[in-house]
Copies of this chain bind each other. A is one copy, B any other.
């Protein structure tokens, strides 16, 4: 991806919603709840603290992360749907 996030932002590829429910039924697209997990595609350089020191983003490209449902913005870049979030809207990383 030729897009460099600014500041403490990250770009994430959201995981696909599972097509079947626990009971085995297929779900129509609009009935599927969007997952809150995804893979980091790109990270910004971080943000400056009060003393002008750079605080790097706590995740890196390729990390699988869990994030807040309302924190990010969905955008379409080169025909691909991705999320842009601030590092602070990331909840956890899968170890």
Contacts and interface: CB of A to CB of B under 8 A. Distances in A.
Nearest to A42: B92
Count class of interface residues, chain A: 35 or more
Interface in A39-65: 42, 44, 48-53, 55, 58-59
A5 B77 contact: no
Contacts of A44: 92
Nearest to A75: B36
Interface in A16-72: 36, 42, 44, 48-53, 55, 58-59, 66, 68-69
19 contacts: A2-B94, A2-B95, A3-B66, A3-B93, A3-B95, A4-B94, A4-B95, A6-B59, A6-B93, A7-B88, A11-B92, A42-B92, A48-B49, A50-B50, A51-B51, A51-B52, A75-B91, A84-B91, A84-B92
